[in-house]
Structure 1
Amino acid sequence: MQKGLWHGVSPLALGLALGFSLTSGAVAQTAGGQVMGGRAADAEVSELVVTAQRVEENIQQVPIAVSAFSSATLQRQSIETLQDIAIRTPGFSAGQVDPIQTNFAIRGIGSAFGISQNAGGDASVVVFVDGVYAGRGGTPDIDALNLERVEVLRGPQGTLFGKNTIGGLIQFVSKKPSADPSWRVEAQYGNYDRRSLNARGNIPLSDRAFLSLGGSIKLRDGYEFNETTGNHVNDQDLRSAALALRLLPSEDLDVTLAVDLTDQDQKGNPRDNICDATLRGGVHCVGINPDPRVVNAFTDGYLRRWLQTYRGEVNWQSPLGTVTSITAYRAATLNFRTVFFANPVNPPNQIESTETDHEKNKQFSQELRLAFGALDGRLTGQVGAYYLHEDNTRIEDLQQDFPAPAQTGIATYPQMVKGRSIALFGQASFAVTDTVTATAGLRQTWERKRGHFIGRKVSGPGLPPPLAADYDVRGAESWSALTPRFALDWQATPDLMFYASATRGFKSGGFQGIAGSGPSQSTPYDPEFAWSYEGGAKSRWLDGRVRLNASIFKTDYKDLQVSQLVPLCCVVVGNAATAEIKGAEFEWVLQPLQGLQLDGSYAFLDAEFTSFANGATANFTGNALPRSPRHKVHLGVQYSTDIQGWGAMARLDYTNQAHMFFEASNIATQKQEGYINVDARVSLTSPDKRWEVAVWGKNLTDELVATYVTAFAPYRQVLVPYAPPKTYGVTLIWKM
């Protein structure tokens, strides 16, 4: 496939061709009694248990579009971050302003700027770690946790999960401590002097008490070089630890107490600077090195993060059903300095803009659920209540150095925001017949945010943008939302299920990150809402050797929160638009021969603004939503065999994604061209299964992929951070 693959392709042609060819092929072979590839496979495609509906279910029986990655899959594909997950998931894109300010989008819905850029705002796609909402401060890397699986739920999940899951959500599900003693140590070395060590253990303390613990350290040199300071930047120094204690006081009671910690301390991530150009093949600014991995910032900046999560989960098998309580306290401290604009324009004039942030977030949450069954199992469901309190303090300092003295100086923007969310929810499924099940759910949410906002000049001859005048203001607002879900599924055969659903999603309103004036800062923007309609099928063929899942969807958004960069001012969030999103997604796994697996996915996405008047002159109606590539295909080939008792496995992952924009204007300078990503891994496992050595590579085509783009039209500048370049290394694993 070439990068021009998507030119001239009719919208659903490729996906339908892939889906129907697999389905028709499977049916034909079943009817004719043939085997795929001339040799029978001796194992089915393994099935996963997921908690997409807050209870454990086979993924093939869940009427939701969900992708799941087991712990074995995470290892075999060298998956370490959510960026790695996004590459392999239909409809999911993951960018980042810097390594701790991520911005996720599912089916075109996401926050255009990192959540840490706004003390009073929320993301549209959120992460839950073992049932705990991870609102701010990011999450540990995937390989730092002892995960059982990662789940990606696509589309609004407002009934059972609530809290801003309007685009979708990602769930990290950890392995619970158990009675099986085990140890695992993994060491890794790669280019850019990458060194990492990860150790995990599971220790039974008695027949009713079990302990799991682990820790990791990841070190790496920087991907970019700062010519001004002579240092490599965008490096990595990340340490994490996790501990979980599981107690079984009785046959009916299961208690888990857990803590995970993350400590990150590394250099910053200055932007590449491009003038008058699209992202590829552009002309770099005068005096700037044209190498995109070389920057010219007057300081390297820094990035420091201290993340703590303390969690208690209780499961009680009561006479009424399973009662689950999840209590969590989460604290994040972020300190970072980013030079987001530093280069000469028409020398000797120099422009420099530096952002320094100090943020502390405290979050307490409590969820209580009852999962029940009645009528001899024909009626199942759950009811629950949720409470969340957030206390966020953020101080952002902006240093602006421009040729014009009136725009030069330092300003500070302290923000103190408190948020509260309360919800009552329930969902029930009723077996209308032996094969048809109807589901209905409802969630009522009440939210409140109040904040104290300051904008003040610190020094300089003028008022640095965006500050127009000093201010000290307060603001408060409350919102409520009713988010129902209706679904119908038909188990046509034991291996074929059809479903249809209608779901409403809600994302909280909020306040600006920083504003130029007090009235703008204290005026909240409204929540956004979406209705999503989806139909799909989940199927297995050829005695379980083929799995094919498909979905089609349409989503209508109103009061869409849109982030816009106002030159020489700020990022402004407003309810500026409505949008319509249509698409189709396919996922498949085939095992045609013993040891051979073919898997992949395809997503078609048509996401556009149906109305978006941006001021008196600009009208973005009809433009594509940010980070919504029209086509995305992922193909995986995996082969495993025994060589004189040694287990050998080779895997290749290929992703081809069409172009996308980072901003609603859809201008060329905010465009990421289509690109190809290729990852590979080859491993050998000892006959006793205790040792494994693997050689791996990521982004083997060394594609230059932007993770975030800022365009400053007045100075004809485009500022870009990039995803990692080609990386490779070797991993050694010992288990017992």
Structure 2
Amino acid sequence: MRHLIGGVSWAALAMALASPSAAQDAEVSELVVTAQRVEENIQQVPIAVTAFGSAALERQSIETLQDIAIRTPGFSAGQVDPIQPNFAIRGIGSAYGISQNAGGDASVVVFVDGVYAGRGGTPDVDAMDLERVEVLRGPQGTLFGKNAVGGLIQYVSRKPSNDTRLRVEGGLGNFDRRTLSVRGNVPLSDSVYLSAGGSLKFRDGYEFNETTGHDVNDQDLRTAALALRFLPSDDLDIVLAADFTEQDQRGNPRDNICDPTLRGGVHCVGVNPDPRIMNAYTDGYTRRWLQTYRGEVNWTTALGTLTSITGYRAVTTNVRIPFFSNPVNPPNQIESTQTDHEKNDQFSQELRLAFDAMDGRLRGQVGAYYLREDNFRIEDLRQDFPAPAQTGVATYPQDVLAKSFALFGQASFSVTDELTVTAGLRQTWEEKSGHFIGRKVSGPGMPPPLGGDYDVRAKEDWSALTPRFAVDWQVTPDALIYASATRGFKSGGFQGIAGTASSQSTPYDPEYAWSYEGGAKTQWLDKRLQVNLSVFHTDYEDLQVSQLVPLCCVVVGNAATAEIDGVEVELIARPLAGLQLEAAYGYLDAKFTSFANGATANFTGNDLPRSPKDKLHLGAQYSFDIAEWGVLGRVDYTNQAHMYFEASNIPTQKQEGYINVDARVSLTSPDKRWQVAAWGKNLTDELVATYVTAFAPYRQVLVPYAPPKTYGVTLVWRM
């Protein structure tokens, strides 16, 4: 890590924990999670899970999955643009160019109330009435299926209930930030409950485009959600829900860094050295319209609980990114612009039965899953170079139909009251078919990456078997030890933009990972200290690696194998009344064991992209009363080591280690109805890349950045 952590006396902490003055009723929260698709105490689940309850989300001012990632060991989150995230868990993630095409998928997936969120992103965390957010680390191929090869994130919303409640929140911040959210719940009868909410977020841009004179990378985001719950009997629970997201804002042109290790510096002429000032001929734009409709039925029968989850997602996105912009000997200008128009329709249906037999000694679930995705995407590339032969516009329409069907089951058997063995299996069948076009639109020469017009159709199918084996020993009521072996896989696919018909019609295969893990979940000192540990080894095969081919395109292929070893430790302590201390550390050694990229480049032994070796998070919060007003202060500190964004591990695609500090202090009225809070994020104002692209032939490095230092105030009223 870039800085060493000092000044922490663990001996003093241990004395405080053991001291009689420590509050006897200060217990670590008993979080319930659904990491195994049924509700269980997080300390009794033999899986590495980090969970954030609704109170934690509020107290840490968590708005996005990037905020979650900062606080979670082994989890990193970047983004190509505000609606195209790139997640990696334990070194497994999708590089740029894979999930940003119609025929590709991500390696870490998101589920929103049991519905797979395949494309188009998700609502912000703070825009939903969430009960919790869960991060499951390691392959989850048995119970969750495709594309959970690295892990997954679950949003779990609060279900409508018989409580009448209303929450209104407004906020102001720097960059002219203005936010408003309203959430409410009301019983319509003894058995019918309704909840609804909406939010608005507006903000000026973090960056400035000198060419147009506009702020860019701003925010204009609107969300709404509605849920209806019907309880016709004690055995039947029905929830119908919908959420909507509308986004319309300027784009995020890339910072163009002149790299002295790649060239002599002449191309730097005309580029503003300030990383927050751009030189693009257009601002670009980010537009998204997301709709999700969900129906969940839970029916308690003599055989067990039968659950049906039906989901439909429709998302339309329009994105224009001026990603390559560099004045060369002004007034000449090099410009490359990518414009994406995508419409995705997704339908999913899951049916599963959770059973309990033999007086509770045998429990588990069996089920079936179906997913259909219709994805139509048009990607246009515009290149304006001083050399006319390289100037032109090309268009790449892609129309892909993907189907996936799976049967799965998992059972746990209690050999004794303390020892449990678990076995599970999932068989998945997949098919993708697509129509792909590459066509020159204009220009004196054929613009890269198009070597010639093509119009091709392609189809491929795959199948995957993803088992899980685990054993756990409840040594004491407060100590669980477990070991597991789990397999996950990620779907195969097709190129997004190819230079030739042959390349476009050639699919790449799925990738697979076997993960072997041992861990312990423990609570000490009357549950005032919680310590969880996991140690893992992963064999990662047939990696879908994306490589930028100069003057062509981003090409995806099954080019590598890798081994990943790591250790993760999470600690929560409450030594004194009102004081909570948290620590999370992740060590990651993720290396390519084979990766020959062409005749000359060999990346064997290099780090996997977005796999920092060390990551430490420390959190401290303290609450107390002043004249019956509640005061709560919290500080979150993260220290992350360097990482690379690409398999070559070249210095120009390296994010140096950095420190992130967030803080929040709140004041709550005696009746708990009013709360005012002041908060700040990235208080060290670190410049952190969300991804990096290096164009060696043009001696340029193109970078979008995470937000700078932000701060503001929030006012909340509850009824």
TM superposition score normalised by structure 2 = 0.98
CA distance in 1, matches of 2:582, 2:428: 39
CA distance in 2, matches of 1:376, 1:227: 71
Q: Is the 1:39–1:592 Cα contact (8 Å) retained in structure 2?
A: yes
Q: Is the 2:623–2:630 Cα contact (8 Å) retained in structure 1?
A: yes
Aligned to 1:401: 384
Mapped pair 1:472 → 2:472: no
Following superposition, the deviation at residue 284 of structure 1 comes to 8.5
What's the CA shift string for 1:266-325, capped at 9, x where partnerless? 00000000011589xx99821111110000000001110000000000000011000000
2:691 alignment partner AA? Y
1:414 alignment partner AA? P
What's the CA shift string for 1:645-666, capped at 9, x where partnerless? 0000000000000000000000
2:488 alignment partner AA? G
Aligned to 1:565: 548
1:187 alignment partner AA? G
Indicate which of 684, 702, 711 corresponds to 1:719: 702
What's the CA shift string for 1:341-384, capped at 9, x where partnerless? 01113445421000111000000000000000000000000000
Aligned to 1:47: 30
Identical counterparts, % of pairs: 78
Aligned to 1:65: 48
What's the CA shift string for 1:52-93, capped at 9, x where partnerless? 000000000000000000000000000000000000000000
Aligned to 2:19: 35
Q: Is the 2:133–2:155 Cα contact (8 Å) retained in structure 1?
A: yes
Aligned to 1:79: 62
Following superposition, the deviation at residue 402 of structure 1 comes to 1.7
Aligned to 2:572: 589
Aligned to 1:9: none
167 and 278 in structure 1: CA distance in 2 versus 1, 3 angstrom threshold: farther
CA distance in 2, matches of 1:220, 1:277: 35
Following superposition, the deviation at residue 249 of structure 1 comes to 1.0
Aligned to 1:254: 237
CA distance in 2, matches of 1:115, 1:93: 17
Q: Is the 2:267–2:327 Cα contact (8 Å) retained in structure 1?
A: no
2:366 alignment partner AA? V
1:650 alignment partner AA? G
TM superposition score normalised by structure 1 = 0.95
Name the SS for the 1:315 alignment partner.
strand
383 and 476 in structure 1: CA distance in 2 versus 1, 3 angstrom threshold: same
Name the SS for the 2:360 alignment partner.
coil
1:635 alignment partner AA? L
CA distance in 2, matches of 1:114, 1:414: 16
CA distance in 2, matches of 1:201, 1:618: 58
What's the CA shift string for 1:160-200, capped at 9, x where partnerless? 00021000000000000000110000001000000000000
CA distance in 2, matches of 1:544, 1:610: 42
CA distance in 2, matches of 1:492, 1:3: 39
Name the SS for the 1:179 alignment partner.
coil
Aligned to 1:382: 365
CA distance in 2, matches of 1:39, 1:514: 61
Following superposition, the deviation at residue 4 of structure 1 comes to 3.9
Indicate which of 107, 110, 113 corresponds to 1:124: 107
374 and 402 in structure 1: CA distance in 2 versus 1, 3 angstrom threshold: same
Mapped pair 1:544 → 2:543: no
RMSD between aligned alpha carbons? 1.8
Name the SS for the 1:389 alignment partner.
strand
Q: Is the 1:96–1:114 Cα contact (8 Å) retained in structure 2?
A: no
Indicate which of 290, 293, 296 corresponds to 2:279: 296
CA distance in 1, matches of 2:123, 2:156: 13
> Counterparts in 2 of 1:448-467, with a 5 A limit?
448-467=431-450
Mapped pair 1:356 → 2:355: no
Name the SS for the 1:369 alignment partner.
strand
CA distance in 2, matches of 1:283, 1:677: 35
CA distance in 2, matches of 1:53, 1:687: 39
Following superposition, the deviation at residue 114 of structure 1 comes to 6.2
CA distance in 2, matches of 1:21, 1:420: 53
Indicate which of 167, 173, 176 corresponds to 1:184: 167
CA distance in 2, matches of 1:264, 1:286: 35
Name the SS for the 1:206 alignment partner.
coil
Name the SS for the 1:592 alignment partner.
coil
Aligned to 1:489: 472
Name the SS for the 2:428 alignment partner.
strand
Name the SS for the 2:575 alignment partner.
strand
Following superposition, the deviation at residue 404 of structure 1 comes to 2.3
Following superposition, the deviation at residue 624 of structure 1 comes to 0.1
Q: Is the 1:640–1:648 Cα contact (8 Å) retained in structure 2?
A: yes
What's the CA shift string for 1:584-624, capped at 9, x where partnerless? 00001000001000002000000000000000000000000
Structure 1 range deviating more: 594-603 or 270-279: 270-279
Mapped pair 1:524 → 2:523: no
Aligned to 1:436: 419
Q: Is the 2:270–2:327 Cα contact (8 Å) retained in structure 1?
A: yes
Q: Is the 2:168–2:182 Cα contact (8 Å) retained in structure 1?
A: yes
Indicate which of 160, 164, 184 corresponds to 1:201: 184
1:450 alignment partner AA? S
Aligned to 1:135: 118
Name the SS for the 1:117 alignment partner.
coil
Q: Is the 1:277–1:283 Cα contact (8 Å) retained in structure 2?
A: no
CA distance in 1, matches of 2:122, 2:547: 26
2:19 alignment partner AA? V
Following superposition, the deviation at residue 39 of structure 1 comes to 3.5
2:399 alignment partner AA? M
Q: Is the 2:320–2:338 Cα contact (8 Å) retained in structure 1?
A: yes
Q: Is the 1:101–1:114 Cα contact (8 Å) retained in structure 2?
A: no
Aligned to 2:408: 425
CA distance in 2, matches of 1:362, 1:447: 17
Following superposition, the deviation at residue 565 of structure 1 comes to 1.1
Following superposition, the deviation at residue 403 of structure 1 comes to 2.5
Aligned to 2:256: 273
Mapped pair 1:534 → 2:533: no
Name the SS for the 2:595 alignment partner.
strand
Aligned to 1:5: 4
Aligned to 1:241: 224
Q: Is the 1:399–1:410 Cα contact (8 Å) retained in structure 2?
A: yes
Q: Is the 2:324–2:335 Cα contact (8 Å) retained in structure 1?
A: yes
CA distance in 2, matches of 1:47, 1:228: 54
CA distance in 2, matches of 1:507, 1:39: 48
CA distance in 2, matches of 1:108, 1:74: 25
Following superposition, the deviation at residue 568 of structure 1 comes to 1.5
Mapped pair 1:631 → 2:633: no
116 and 267 in structure 1: CA distance in 2 versus 1, 3 angstrom threshold: farther
CA distance in 2, matches of 1:346, 1:158: 54
CA distance in 2, matches of 1:71, 1:567: 47
Indicate which of 641, 646, 660 corresponds to 2:643: 660
Q: Is the 2:637–2:662 Cα contact (8 Å) retained in structure 1?
A: yes
CA distance in 2, matches of 1:228, 1:621: 42
278 and 673 in structure 1: CA distance in 2 versus 1, 3 angstrom threshold: farther
Aligned to 1:615: 598
Name the SS for the 1:291 alignment partner.
coil
CA distance in 1, matches of 2:266, 2:53: 44
> Counterparts in 2 of 1:168-183, with a 5 A limit?
168-183=151-166
Aligned to 2:291: 308
196 and 277 in structure 1: CA distance in 2 versus 1, 3 angstrom threshold: farther
Name the SS for the 1:601 alignment partner.
strand
Aligned to 1:10: none
Following superposition, the deviation at residue 40 of structure 1 comes to 3.4
Q: Is the 1:102–1:115 Cα contact (8 Å) retained in structure 2?
A: no
Mapped pair 1:392 → 2:375: yes
2:2 alignment partner AA? K
CA distance in 2, matches of 1:485, 1:126: 19
CA distance in 1, matches of 2:83, 2:193: 33
What's the CA shift string for 1:185-236, capped at 9, x where partnerless? 0001000000000000001000100000000000000000000000000000
Following superposition, the deviation at residue 115 of structure 1 comes to 5.8
